[in-house]
Structures are given as C-alpha cells and as structure tokens.
DNA sequence: ATACCTCGAGTTCG
DNA sequence: CTCGAGGTAT
C-alpha cells in the first residue's frame, strides 16, 4: 500500500480489501484479520470518504447511513410473490415415527407419487426465526431490499438493509444474472442479542423482547442509524425472479452459486433423501438446536430439482414442493384478555393471565401465572397487551415480556383490586411480604374450599374421590364447611346434594331420567372418608393446613413431640426447639391452636371417630435439649420475633449459664444474686434484668413456668429403655430423581424414611447419595457436578433388602 | 451478618 | 419448576 497513492486509488483499494474481509467473515466464516485491524481500515476509509465527498459511493463498505425516512416506507410489489410455506408439526407423545411425523410423511409420499420417483432429493435447511426479505441486484449491485409483507407487497427497507454487513452491496465474480432477486432471512444471533440487551440495560434504554422481535423491529426503524446500531445478520435461502437458463438445475447448487457471489448461506444446509433422510435431518438439527448460535423454529425441505418443483406446482399460495417442519415452539406471542385473581388456601391472591389460546411447546396455553403484583408491575403488563409466553424448563407457562410496540392506546397500569373477588373481604399485604392476602379467612369460600381440598389431598389425608368439583358443590350447597363436616356425611346427604346441584345447574343426568339413582359414587366416597379415620400424626398435622407447616415440618414436629395433644398445647417456646422450626413457624403453630374455631374443628374430628394410630414417645434428643436455659433463650427469640425485647443485654451464653447455676426457673427466682453471680460469672446487673422480667405475675413468668411444666410432662413420656436401635440411615440426606421401575417415588421415599433417612428435594454437597431412576434429569447432573454418590435402582433395592 | 440450603406454596394441561 | 422466605451453619 503505497504512501504515494492518490486518495481515489487508496479509497478503491480500501473498499476492495474491506469487502474481501466482509466476505471472509460473513460468508466463509473464516476471518483473516483481527477486529481491531478491520476497524482501523474502516475508519481510514470513512475518513477519506468524509474528506472527499465527491468520491462517495452508494455501495461503499462503510455503509454510510442513508437519509431518515420521514413518512414511512414505500410499498414494493414483489415481481414473484414471496411464498408462505405449508407447516407441519411434530406430534408429541407419539413414539412411532410415522405418527410423529404424519404430516411430513404425507408430504414426502405426495411428492413421490406425483413425480413417480422413489426417493426424492430434498434441499434441507434450518428455518431461522427472523424476518424474510428480498434483495434485488441489478448488474451485480444492490439496488433495493424489501420485507415480505403479505407476500405480494412488502415495504422498501433498502436504507436499513444497506447497514447490514452480511449483505453484500456488490456481488463477487461476474457470472451473475443481470437481474437477481435473493430471498433470505434477517436474524439476530443469540449472543449478539444478549450483548445488545446488556448494553441497552446499562444505557437505560429499552431492551429487545427476543432475537426475532429484535430483527423485525430493527428493520422497521425509520432512522437507518438505529438499524445500523443493531447487530443484524443475514442468510440467503433462495432466489426470486431470474431468467431461464441463468441458474443451475438444483436448488442446492443455486445456494452454492449464491455463496460464490458473496451471499452468506447457512452452513447447516444439506441434501436429504426420502422420508428417512428428512427425518434424520430434522433430528440432527433438533439435537443441535440449543448449540446453534441463532434461534430456529423448525427446518425447511424443498424438492431439490427445479424441474420437479415445476411439475408439482402450487396449491393456493403454497408450493407443493416445500414444507416447513416446525419444532414445538418454546415462546409465542398472544393477547392478554384479562387478569383474574385466584385465592389460594392461605388466602394468597395470585394474579393469573387469561390469554388468547396459543400453542406453546406442544400444548395450548390459555392461562399463565403472573406470580404477584410486583411481577406485574415489573413487566408492566396491561389488559389488552400482546405478551410473550414461554413454557420455561418444564411445563408451567409464564408471561415473559410485553410487546410494547403492540400496546393498544388508552391502557392503564394494572392494580391489585382492593377486595377479594370471592368474598369481598379486604385484600391486605402484610409488611415485608410480596403477596396480598384475602383477610376473610375461613369466611372466604375460596379459602374454605382450598382448605378442604388440601385436607383431602393425596399427601395429606388422601381421601380418594374427593376432588375439586365435588368440594365446590358441597361448599356451595352448604353441606360441608370444615373438614369435620366430611366425617358426618351420609350417602343420603350426598345423593340429596347431587340432586340439588343438578337442579340448580339445570342438568338432568341420564340415570335420573331413567328413574334410577346412581349411588355407587356416594357409597365409595363415604367409605373413602371412613378409611381415613385411623390417621397418621404427621399427615394429620399437615392436613390441617397450618400456615408454614408443610410435609417436612409436620414430620419434624410429629417426631419431636410424638403426640398430637402435646403439639397442640405447646408454647412457642417449646416448638422453637423442634428441628427446622424457627420463630415464624413456632408462632404460626401456636397461633393456629390458640384459635377457638380451629380447636372446635379438631375436637369435632376426634369426636367423629378420627384417631391417630402412630402416636408415641417424644424424641429424646429434642426433650433433653429443652432445659431451662434453652427455654430462656427461646423466650428471648420469641419475644424478638414478636417485635419486643426480653432480657435486654443478656446474651444466650449468660442465660444458659444462669439456668445451669440455678437448677430451674424457680431456683433462678429465689437464689441469692451475689452467690449466683459468683457461681456463674454473669454480672449481677444482668441477673437483676432477668429476674425483673421474671418477677411475680409478669406474663413471662407465667408463661415460662407453664412451658417448664410441659417439658416435664414430655420427660415423663420418654421411652424407658434406650434400646431403640439406631436406624441404619439415620442422619443421612438422600435425594430421589428419575422414574423407578419397581416402585413409585412416594413408596421409595417412605421406605428410605423408615430406615431413618431424610429424603430431600434438591441436591447439595450435604447430600449423602442420589438415587437415579430412568430419565433422571438435572438433579443427576448436579450430583455428578458435586461429586455426590449416585445409586441406580438395583443398588437402591439392594440397600433396602440389606436393611430389611 | 452472611451464605448456603431447604421447605412451603402456587402453578398448567390433559 | 420457580420464587420467596425461613432456618441453620459458618
């Protein structure tokens, strides 16, 4: 590169070199210069062009941004319409390939029959999730680019397309047709999309919803400078109008030609033979879908030979020689019609989006959770919005984002209603919590129903046949209000209820019209309820639906106390010492049993024959830890969580030392301060504080004395012989994942728990081992990652057998 | 105080 | 499965 060259020579040379680098980067995917060097060349060219405006050129690789379009885009009629492809969907839940790919198989068979060919050849390529465009080249120069529009008329977005580096402004070589229309897809690489959004977030600008929207939105910018700032990419996948004889005989060869001319072609394109070939290709691309640097929504198959394409022709507007085989979509856009409030068992008010039905990942989605009011505010979801719905990870649909461009005018931010939609009670949000709750409690039918449903559910009392519909009817016809009412039901009650429900709904079942009465279901239900009368303590505790008490905590309480009555009457100060129980949980339990209406329901249950079959002795280590010192410590924690303060300035160590020095509470109240101070090393001023707060008829004195009596009662119930052999898996945490052939997960869990193991839900480094069945997923991966032992089903069975 | 680790609770569709 | 929050270990 000579220093002496004139500006126009240097400009020519730079343009040539930069174009070559663009080609190597975008088409060959083999860059030969570092980004910095490329940028330097580009800057030099830009400087020269600015300095010598007379040497400017529309197809300079600087892609100097064109003028802003004020009035929108000109309409462009496509000389040859841009086709839409027939879509085929994989039938999920089908093992047989012929059924899974029924539409694809039909397509291939139709092609075979029409052509009289045995194994037709298809050009196969991924279907990029972007925006289809058409580029027009005249004498090798880019003259115009347009969106697909409705297929026959699109919008002229030439100025924006000129800023896309992957689109050549001049074709390479010299054997191109005088007029060439290239069809292809504008898209955004995932990586570029993420980087762009990260940058936008930093600059406080609006982020793009997803790569597809990013590509489409960027092209429709009136100001090309905005397009230029977006990381757009392009792949060509076909041609529009060309004169006969100017192209090869096959589509796949045309793509190679386009590549020679400098147009980027997706490297995944291939030729597939017959049905087996196209299915294999679909699988191949599906398998590397996540590894591809861009989003795709399927693959496209086109009959490769143009001659054969002509024979097949068109149906309506879709070619009979091409088919798009779609992957199950992971994200879709749809309209949000309304936001409903659901009231859960605990009164939690959960907003739910009611959506225009849309296919996502193989199912039709009509509802999606919005979690809570904060989430709605964060997304700024409004009624009437177009939203993007995703089935994340597994199954549960969620609203990911609002498409602001499509927001109808006149919308307002959504607000949580003031009253419960079911019982009209005030909705309140406890301080520091994210959820709003209906304050109606059991008065609220929604909460009552949910409480009943929970009571009857499989993991609680497991009342077979008592489902949501039946509970709805029972509550609405005022047959049942609380779980206790279930145990008073008779077959006659149920039949009467059914009759009234049918009457109310105006439905008369076939059996009634025939003058018969179907009563089997009612007999079964009464029997199912009766079967739950002998109940297990932990399940019953869980079934009561105490806030914060799930299965695990219920088990922990059951094990620690051994007897229902001792839990129901326990002070929070005792509860706090049970494993996994802290101040919040302890308060929740104590409050529940302090409520008169809860006690009434429980009494009624016992009166109607419910009894606990597995009550036993309390857990020795739990009871032993509950000495006077621990009671004082617990009292201090309980007081603090109530927002108060007890034994201010006296630490836990000091409290324990004092209790130890004074034997018990009574001793602590009577003993000589000086002597105690000497014996324990706790300052007499601290002892005074403790004693002042435990003064006669102070509430805490009453309470702690009662608590001490409760502990004493537990002590008396401790097992006399300590021969209770240690369980083989005591203290070990294990995790189950995947499907076991020989037993259900619940059964495996019970058997492991019977050996003393704790069966947790997630894997951590504290997990002793993971049992991995068939189709184990992320938990197995995590176990491997953390180096946790993994047992297969055979090893589990062996372990269970070894320990009886 | 902080960093895990678990649990509780709510969730959709067929 | 995910989120939030409670509990415990450090």
| Closest alpha carbon to C1' of C1, residue | A394
Active site residue A555: no
Give tens-digit pLDDT for A335-370: 999 998 988 888 888 888 999 988 776 678 888 888
**What CA–CA distance (Å, rounded) separates A559 from A445?**
33
Distance, Å, A579 CA → C8 C1': 10
**Poorest-pLDDT segment among A10-19, A59-68, A150-159:** A59-68
Say what angle helices A211-219 and A190-202 make with each other, to 10 degrees: 70
Provide the strand spans (E) within A453-517: none
Q: Strand B footprint at Cβ < 7 Å?
A: A 342, 344-348, 350, 352, 363-369, 395-397, 450, 547-554, 580, 733, 758, 760-767
Contact A311, A114 (CB under 8 A): yes
Choice among A127, A302, A326, A779 that is catalytic: A127
**Poorest-pLDDT segment among A125-134, A148-157, A711-720:** A148-157
**Can you tell me which residue has the tokens 């008329």?**
A153
Judge whether residue A382 has pLDDT over 70: yes
Contact A788, A770 (CB under 8 A): yes
| Total Cβ atoms within 10 A of residue A548 | 15
Note the pLDDT of residue A4.
56
Distance, Å, A416 CA → B1 C1': 35
Residue A369 or residue A308, greater confidence: A308
The partner residues of A191 in beta bridges, in order of sequence, read none
Give the pLDDT mean for A392-418.
81
Give tens-digit pLDDT for A528-539: 999 999 999 999
**What CA–CA distance (Å, rounded) separates A328 from A596?**
54
Note the pLDDT of residue A611.
97
Distance, Å, A785 CA → B5 C1': 17
Note the pLDDT of residue A532.
95
Residue A38 or residue A540, greater confidence: A540
Two tokens, residue A713? 């009662």
Contact A440, A456 (CB under 8 A): no
Note the pLDDT of residue A255.
95
Give the pLDDT mean for A175-187.
93
The DSSP symbol for A24 reads I
CA dihedral sign, ordered A632, A636, A641, A643: positive
Give the pLDDT mean for A405-429.
87
**What CA–CA distance (Å, rounded) separates A357 from A138?**
45
The DSSP symbol for A162 reads T
Query: pLDDT band for position A511 (50/70/90)?
Result: low
Give the pLDDT mean for A176-182.
92
Two tokens, residue A192? 């570029």
Percent of chain A with pLDDT over 90: 35
Note the pLDDT of residue A721.
66
Note the pLDDT of residue A251.
94
Note the pLDDT of residue A501.
86
Residue A515 or residue A743, greater confidence: A743
Note the pLDDT of residue A389.
86
Note the pLDDT of residue A222.
81
Contact A665, A573 (CB under 8 A): no
Note the pLDDT of residue A98.
65
Two tokens, residue A142? 């880019």
Contact A77, A153 (CB under 8 A): yes
Among left, alpha and beta (phi > 0; psi -120 to 50; other), residue A486 is alpha
Strand C bases contacted by the protein (CB, 7 Å): 1-8
**Poorest-pLDDT segment among A395-409, A576-590, A619-633:** A395-409
Contact A148, A131 (CB under 8 A): yes
Laid out side by side, the sheet with A322-326 consists of A86-89, A322-326, A296-303, A121-128, A270-273
Query: pLDDT band for position A2 (50/70/90)?
Result: very low
Note the pLDDT of residue A516.
65
- Determine phi and psi for A121, rounding to 5 degrees: -95, 135
Give the pLDDT mean for A757-771.
86
Note the pLDDT of residue A295.
85
Distance, Å, A222 CA → B14 C1': 46
The DSSP symbol for A293 reads S
| Total Cβ atoms within 10 A of residue A323 | 27
Contact A269, A206 (CB under 8 A): no
CA dihedral sign, ordered A33, A36, A38, A44: negative
The DSSP symbol for A733 reads E
Does strand C come within 7 Å of the CB of A550?
A: no
Residues 354-393 of A with CB under 7 A from strand C: 371-372, 374-375, 392-393
Give tens-digit pLDDT for A708-734: 999 999 999 988 765 556 778 877 888
**What CA–CA distance (Å, rounded) separates A465 from A459?**
14
Q: Can you give the pTM of this predicted structure? A: 0.67
The DSSP symbol for A430 reads -
**What CA–CA distance (Å, rounded) separates A404 from A671?**
74
Strand B bases contacted by the protein (CB, 7 Å): 4-14
Two tokens, residue A27? 């088409």
Q: How many CA atoms lie within 13 A of A624 on its CB side?
A: 5
Query: pLDDT band for position A245 (50/70/90)?
Result: confident
Q: Which nucleotide is nearest to A580 (CA to C1')?
A: C7
Contact A323, A101 (CB under 8 A): no
Note the pLDDT of residue A1.
47
Give the pLDDT mean for A297-319.
86
Which residues, 6 or more positions from A796, have their beta carbon under 8 angstroms from its beta carbon? Answer: A740, A748, A771
Q: Which nucleotide is nearest to A341 (CA to C1')?
A: B10
Gyration radius of chain A over CA positions:
37
| 3-class secondary structure, A552 | helix
By CB atoms closer than 10 A (0-12, 13-18, 19+), residue A198 is: exposed
Contact A190, A130 (CB under 8 A): no
Chain-centroid distance of CA A619 in Å reads 39
Pairing outcome for strands A789-791 and A769-772: parallel
Q: Which of A139-148, A410-419, A424-433, A502-511 has the highest mean pLDDT?
A: A139-148
Provide the strand spans (E) within A501-583: 534-535
Judge whether residue A401 has pLDDT over 50: yes
Judge whether residue A549 has pLDDT over 90: yes
Give tens-digit pLDDT for A672-702: 888 888 888 888 888 888 988 888 778 899 9
- What are the C-alpha distances in Å from A60 to residues A13, A18, A30? 11, 9, 22
- What are the C-alpha distances in Å from A25 to residues A38, A158, A264? 11, 22, 9
Q: Which nucleotide is nearest to A587 (CA to C1')?
A: C6
Q: What average pLDDT does the structure give for chain A? A: 86
The DSSP symbol for A265 reads B
Judge whether residue A740 has pLDDT over 60: yes
Note the pLDDT of residue A243.
66
Distance, Å, A647 CA → C7 C1': 23
Does strand C come within 7 Å of the CB of A557?
A: no
Chain-centroid distance of CA A517 in Å reads 46
Distance, Å, A585 CA → C3 C1': 19
Pairing outcome for strands A397-402 and A386-391: antiparallel
**What CA–CA distance (Å, rounded) separates A565 from A587?**
17
Judge whether residue A573 has pLDDT over 90: yes
Give the pLDDT mean for A599-610.
96
Which residues, 6 or more positions from A703, have their beta carbon under 8 angstroms from its beta carbon? Answer: A571, A573, A635
Judge whether residue A254 has pLDDT over 50: yes
């Amino acid at each position: 590169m000579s220093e002496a060259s004139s500006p126009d020579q240097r400009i020519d040379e730079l343009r040539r070199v930069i174009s070559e680098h663009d080609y190597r980067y975008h088409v060959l995917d083999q860059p030969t210069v570092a980004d910095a060097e490329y940028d330097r060349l580009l800057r030099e060219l830009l400087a020269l062009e600015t300095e010598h405006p007379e040497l400017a050129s529309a197809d300079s690789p600087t892609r100097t941004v064109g003028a802003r379009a004020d009035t929108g885009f000109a309409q462009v009629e496509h000389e040859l319409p841009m086709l839409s492809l027939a879509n085929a969907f994989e039938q999920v839940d089908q093992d047989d390939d012929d059924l899974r790919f029924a539409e694809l198989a039909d397509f291939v068979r139709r092609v075979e029959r029409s052509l009289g060919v045995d194994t037709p050849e298809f050009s196969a390529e991924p279907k990029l999730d972007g925006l289809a465009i058409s580029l027009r080249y005249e004498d090798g120069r880019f003259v115009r680019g347009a969106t697909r529009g409705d297929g026959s008329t699109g919008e002229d977005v030439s100025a924006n397309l000129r800023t896309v580096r992957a689109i050549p402004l001049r074709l390479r070589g010299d054997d191109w047709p005088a007029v060439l229309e290239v069809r292809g897809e504008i898209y955004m690489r995932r990586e570029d999309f993420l980087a762009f959004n990260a940058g936008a977030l930093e600059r406080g600008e609006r982020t793009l919803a997803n790569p597809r929207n990013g590509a489409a939105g960027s092209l429709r910018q009136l100001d090309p400078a905005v397009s230029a700032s977006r990381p757009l990419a392009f792949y060509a996948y076909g041609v529009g109008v060309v004169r006969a004889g100017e192209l090869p005989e096959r589509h796949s060869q045309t793509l190679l030609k386009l590549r020679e001319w400098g147009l980027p072609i997706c490297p995944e394109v291939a030729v597939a033979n017959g049905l087996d070939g196209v299915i294999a290709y679909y699988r191949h691309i599906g398998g590397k879908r996540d590894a591809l640097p861009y989003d795709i929504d399927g693959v496209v198959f086109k009959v490769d030979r143009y001659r054969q394409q002509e024979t097949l022709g068109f149906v309506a507007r879709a070619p009979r020689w091409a088919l798009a085989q779609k992957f199950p979509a992971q994200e879709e856009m749809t309209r949000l019609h309304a936001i409903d409030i659901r009231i859960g068992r605990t009164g939690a008010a959960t907003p739910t989006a009611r959506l225009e039905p849309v296919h996502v990942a193989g199912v039709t989605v009509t509802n999606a959770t919005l979690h809570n009011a904060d989430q709605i505010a964060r997304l700024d979801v409004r009624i009437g919005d177009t939203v993007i719905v995703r089935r994340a990870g597994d199954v549960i649909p969620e609203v990911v984002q609002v498409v602001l461009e499509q927001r109808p005018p006149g919308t307002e931010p959504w607000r949580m209603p003031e009253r419960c939609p079911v019982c009209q009670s005030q909705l309140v949000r406890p301080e520091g919590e994210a959820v709003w709750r209906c304050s109606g409690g059991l008065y609220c039918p929604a909460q009552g129903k949910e409480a009943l449903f929970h009571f009857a559910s499989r993991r609680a009392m497991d009342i077979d046949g008592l489902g949501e519909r039946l509970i709805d009817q029972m509550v609405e016809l005022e047959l049942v209000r609380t779980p206790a009412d279930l145990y008073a039901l008779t077959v006659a009650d149920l039949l009467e209820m059914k009759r009234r429900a049918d009457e109310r709904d105006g439905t008369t079942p076939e059996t009634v019209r025939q003058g018969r009465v179907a009563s089997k279901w009612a007999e079964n239900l009464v029997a199912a309820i009766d079967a739950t009368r002998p109940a297990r303590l932990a399940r019953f505790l869980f079934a009561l639906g105490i806030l914060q008490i799930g299965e695990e905590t219920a088990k922990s309480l059951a094990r620690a106390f051994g007897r229902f009555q001792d839990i129901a009457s326990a002070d929070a100060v005792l509860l706090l010492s049970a494993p996994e129980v802290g101040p919040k949980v302890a308060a929740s339990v104590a409050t529940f049993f302090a409520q008169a209406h809860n006690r009434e329901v429980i009494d009624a249950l016992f009166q109607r024959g419910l009894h606990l079959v597995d009550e036993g002795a309390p857990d020795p280590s739990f009871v032993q830890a509950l000495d006077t010192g621990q009671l004082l410590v617990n009292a201090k924690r309980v007081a603090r969580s109530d927002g108060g303060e007890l034994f201010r300035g006296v630490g836990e160590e000091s409290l324990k030392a004092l209790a130890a020095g004074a034997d018990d509470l009574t001793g602590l109240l009577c003993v000589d301060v000086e002597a105690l101070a000497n014996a324990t090393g706790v300052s007499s001023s601290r002892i005074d504080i403790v004693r002042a707060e435990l003064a006669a008829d102070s509430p805490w004195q009453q309470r702690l004395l009662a608590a001490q009596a409760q502990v004493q009662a537990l002590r008396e119930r401790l097992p006399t012989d300590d021969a209770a052999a240690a369980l083989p898996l005591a203290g070990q945490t294990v995790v189950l994942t995947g499907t076991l052939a020989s037993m259900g997960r619940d059964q495996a869990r019970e058997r492991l728990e019977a050996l003393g193991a704790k069966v947790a839900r997630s894997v951590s480094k504290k997990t002793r081992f993971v049992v991995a069945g068939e189709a184990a997923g992320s938990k197995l991966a995590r176990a491997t990652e953390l180096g946790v032992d993994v047992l297969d089903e055979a090893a589990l069975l062996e372990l269970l057998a070894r320990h009886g």
